[in-house]
């Protein structure tokens, strides 16, 4: 028997940076599936256009023009969303900018300025939005948060500040998920890849045909909308969404090498074992890593059936 389509009737979603590109695609699809959408973008005309698109298609939406880079902007966004629709059920933290610059070209002044800009929008931005909305989600016992990171975290030249902040978003996701799971609030992270504007000619590039054919915002949006749905069973995970391809990213630890009296030489001599991911664990938290990875490694060094000595 076919499953019913996923709907968001009675749900309200806040989508930041939704005036164009990926954010616009998320907002349009959520509205098409019945959600009331708060379309946030500091470019007022862009946000208003998306709202007009949604209303023209029979959906419900309001625009918000506040910046998520300040606490005041986050509070104002939350107030406008709640004044317009009441309870907020979904937050998609999508707003962002990208500034490419090689690390070698930075000075302490220019590097700090660039980093501050990236932190304000990519790392603090989600916090500014969630700080005023999170308590209400906890109180109502329901919430879905999707934080948007980037494949730049794997390493991309010129993206040192951007990648560092997006990696921070992944860590933020893990910890918020641990807190939220006790209150019905799920938090996941997506690393989308889509062409959202004019790009250089890729005709000679090996990835060109795939990028041109599949890496579009409308192909990414379904995965993000699924993570925002009440039926999605997962929290605290990160997913790469490469156009129409969605895949879980694993936070894994190799079995490694354990030495009760380590030296630099023991690391060198067992480097292949340390690097070998043939056997690995997938920690779900810091405590889980200690319990299922670290402790067993030490127990294998000196297995004993005797009871541990009692402390005096």
**Half-sphere exposure (Cβ direction) of 110: Cα atoms closer than 13 Å:** 9
Q: Are 96 and 125 in contact (CB under 8 A)?
A: yes
Helix axes of 217-227 and 21-32: crossing angle, nearest 10 degrees: 60
The structure tokens listed for 11 are 């749900």
Dihedral, CA of residue 213, residue 218, residue 219 and residue 221, to nearest 10: 160
Please provide the DSSP assignment of 256-286 as one string.
----SS--HHHHHHTHHHHH--SSEE--SSH
Q: Which 3 state secondary structure label does DSSP give 312?
A: coil
182 is catalytic: no
Residue 188 burial (CB count, 10 A): 23
Please provide the DSSP assignment of 143-210 as one string.
EEEEEE--GGGG--TT-HHHHHHHHHHHHHHHHHHHHHGGGTEEEEEEEEE---S-----TTSTTHHH
Catalytic-role residue among 26, 142, 162, 182: 162
The structure tokens listed for 86 are 């009441």
Which residues carry out catalysis?
A: 162
């Amino acid at each position: 028997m076919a499953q019913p389509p996923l709907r968001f009737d009675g749900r309200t979603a806040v989508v930041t940076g939704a005036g164009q590109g990926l954010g616009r695609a998320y907002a349009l699809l959520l509205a098409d599936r019945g959600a009331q959408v708060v379309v946030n973008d500091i470019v007022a005309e862009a946000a208003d256009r998306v709202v007009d698109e949604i209303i023209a298609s029979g959906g419900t939406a309001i625009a918000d023009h506040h910046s998520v880079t300040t606490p005041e902007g986050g509070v104002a966004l939350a107030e406008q969303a709640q004044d317009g629709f009441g309870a907020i059920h979904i937050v998609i933290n999508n707003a962002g900018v990208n500034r490419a610059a090689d690390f070698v070209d930075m000075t302490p002044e220019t590097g700090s300025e660039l980093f501050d800009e990236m932190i304000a929008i990519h790392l603090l931005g989600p916090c500014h939005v969630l700080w005023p909305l999170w308590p209400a989600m906890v109180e109502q016992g329901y919430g879905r948060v999707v934080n948007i990171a980037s494949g730049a975290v794997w390493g991309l030249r010129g993206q040192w500040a951007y990648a560092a902040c997006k990696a921070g978003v992944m860590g933020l996701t893990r910890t918020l998920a641990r807190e939220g799971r006790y209150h019905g609030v799920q938090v996941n992270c997506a690393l989308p890849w889509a062409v959202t504007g004019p790009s250089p000619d890729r005709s000679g590039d090996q990835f060109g045909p795939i990028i041109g054919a599949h890496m579009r915002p409308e192909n990414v949006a379904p995965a993000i909308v699924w993570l925002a749905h009440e039926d999605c069973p997962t929290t605290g995970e990160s997913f790469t969404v490469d156009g129409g391809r969605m895949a879980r990213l694993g936070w894994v630890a190799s079995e490694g090498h354990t030495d009760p009296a380590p030296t630099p030489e023991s690391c060198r001599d067992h480097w292949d074992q340390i690097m070998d991911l043939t056997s690995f664990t997938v920690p779900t938290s810091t405590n889980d890593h200690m319990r299922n990875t670290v402790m067993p490694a030490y127990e294998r060094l000196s297995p004993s059936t005797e009871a541990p000595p009692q402390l005096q």
